[in-house]
Amino acid sequence: MLLELTPEKLLPASEQLALRRKLEEALQAIAATRALRAACTTPMAVDMDAMAPWHRLMMRVWNLSSMLRIAGVALPPEVRSEPQP
């Protein structure tokens, strides 16, 4: 959703496409991890080295959100992270 609202002056189209691809890959990796954890009968942990790329990606998304807010781009209500009553 954020990428759809991002003007090219904030993030060029090529960078938007690269970020979109990384997000898609990350979501597939999360789905695979969840499936492996669900299939395992014993408790298991996810290695922090495996989580580091995901955390970096989330920081990029939060940074993009901040850039959009600073640029005055209005975010639809379903994207805002404000607490709901």
List, for residues 15-74, the tens digit of each pLDDT value. 999 999 999 998 998 899 889 888 988 887 878 888 888 899 999 999 999 999 999 998
Structure-token match 């990428």, residue found: 3
* Residue 2: C-alpha distances to residues 9, 26, 51, 52 (Å): 14, 16, 22, 22
Percent of the chain residues topping a pLDDT of 90:
47
Kindly tell me if the per-residue pLDDT of 78 is higher than 90.
no
Q: What is the tens place of the pLDDT at every residue in 16-29? A: 999 999 999 989 98
Which pTM does this prediction carry?
Answer: 0.75
Alpha-carbon span 12 to 16, nearest angstrom:
6
34 three-class SS: helix
